Amino acid sequence: MDAPQLDRAADLLLRARLDRQRMAALPHDCRPMDEATAYSIQDRYVDRMLAHYGGSIVGYKAGCTNVTAQRQLGLSSPFAGPLLSAFVLTSPAAISAEDGFMRMIEAEIGFRLGRDLPPAGAPYEAATVVPALATAFGAIEVVDSRYDDWTTAGAPQLIADNVCTGYWVYGDEFTNIDSLDLANHPVRVRRNGAWAEQGNSANVLENPLHVVAWLANHLVARGTWLKSGELLTTGTMIAVNGAEKGDTIEADYGALGSVQVSFV
């Protein structure tokens, strides 16, 4: 796919967001059929969002970190996209129920980096990324998509759409990471005060530290790297849940505290 086609795909994704008009799919002549093309479109789409909304890239999201979800989308690994400051909020947060197409909720564990993870002599592993982590925290991602049916759009189109990122809300930062059992950390989700869902960090590649290592290696392969101060989120610990206008969602992470988002 040549540059004008990549640019056209990015323009269409931004226009769908701004005009609040979903599409069945990107047109055939600019629809990505592989991950490399999809990430090239994503880069252009992110550039356009930064130009329109302002702000900066403040970190990265990994998605599809559950093996079952990967199989459903025909993937053998997660996918990733930047977190943009215009859509990153601290808990408790209020989001307009009319802002975006969906209100799909994911409960995630996130981290802030305390040092860079540049190209190294060997791929990063869970043990080798731990020293770079400054804090951990709970988060709620509000998934959004520019497609009529994001579940059937296919992985390349979802990657191009910045991996379905809507808003992302994170809670208080916890510095004593060594005290956490990240391979077995629970979360319970309330909707309007009533228990609605529960999950565990084991659902995220068995441990969210594996996701951090995957993200580090993914970005190195793309010619960049994770940097000190950036925020990372590692994928949902629960089944994806929908929320309605007027709902307040709270994810309780125990030792990591709780995160709250309301749709107003």
- E strand or H helix at 212, and its extent? helix 208-221
* Tokens encoding 236: 């949902």
* pLDDT tens across the length of the chain (264 residues): 899 999 999 999 999 999 989 999 999 999 999 999 999 999 999 999 999 999 999 999 998 887 767 776 767 779 999 999 999 999 999 999 888 888 889 999 999 999 999 999 899 999 999 999 999 999 999 999 999 888 788 889 999 999 998 999 999 999 999 999 999 999 999 999 999 999 999 999 999 999 999 999 999 999 999 999 999 999 999 987 889 999 999 999 999 999 999 999
pLDDT of residue 7: 98
Instruction: Give the CB-side neighbour count of residue 78, counting CA atoms within 13 A.
Output: 27
Domain 57-263: give its CATH superfamily: Fumarylacetoacetase-like, C-terminal domain (3.90.850.10)
pLDDT of residue 77: 79
pLDDT of residue 242: 86
| Paired residues of 154 in beta bridges | none
* Tokens encoding 107: 């409960």
| Domain positions in the chain | 57-263
Length of the chain as a residue count: 264
Q: How far is CA 131 from CA 110, 167, 184, 241, in A?
A: 15, 28, 20, 33
User: How many helical (H) and strand (E) elements, i.e. helices and strands, does the chain have?
Assistant: 6, 13
